[in-house]
Amino acid sequence: MNLHVLSLLLAGGLVIAAPAMSQEIDFGDDSGEWALDGECDDKRFDGPGMTDTVLLDEDIGHDATDCRKAFKAGNISLRKVATVDIIHDGINFGTDAGDWANDNECDDPRFNGPGMTGTSLMDEDIRRDASDCLRAYRAGEIRLR
């Protein structure tokens, strides 16, 4: 690019940016009860490198070595969090705004089946666990009451 064209681009406010680099993930530390067991126990992630047990808020950021290793190997990725209503088969699953979202159990009392949580269901969780409930619905593990 000649100097004249570059000067015009910069003078006009057009800046050509380099491609964005992926942001560094804060994996946290290894202070969790299940740290260093070869499985990622941090519910911010999803994939085959994850534990099969229930994911708890208290484990977020406390299984760094396992999660970092699984992430670098491509066995987990950051979960996508639903911030707008998800509608599938005419059912409004809502968002992931609930306290129990992304724990691999559906916590929405409008559903029933083996993909549901074993804890008490509350009306305040209606349409606030979209990703878990949609996954269970698609797998045939829950149905609308």
Whole-number Å distance between alpha carbons of 122 and 12: 56
Q: Cβ of 112: how many Cβ atoms within 10 Å? A: 13
pLDDT computed for residue 23 by the predictor: 53
Q: Which of 75, 70, 125, 71 is nearest to 103 (CA)?
A: 125
Contact 108, 128 (CB under 8 A): yes
Q: pLDDT of 89-107, one tens digit each?
A: 999 999 999 988 988 899 9
Whole-number Å distance between alpha carbons of 44 and 40: 10
Residues in contact with 61: Cβ distance below 8 Å, sequence separation at least 6, in sequence order:
26, 27, 28, 29, 42, 44
Tokens 């349409």 — which residue? 127
Confidence of residue 79 (pLDDT cuts 50, 70, 90): confident
Residue 105 CB-half CA count within 13 A: 18
Q: pLDDT of 25-69, one tens digit each?
A: 899 999 999 999 999 999 889 899 999 888 887 898 999 999 999
Is the pTM value of this prediction over 0.75?
A: no
Residue 135: φ, ψ to 5°: -60, -45
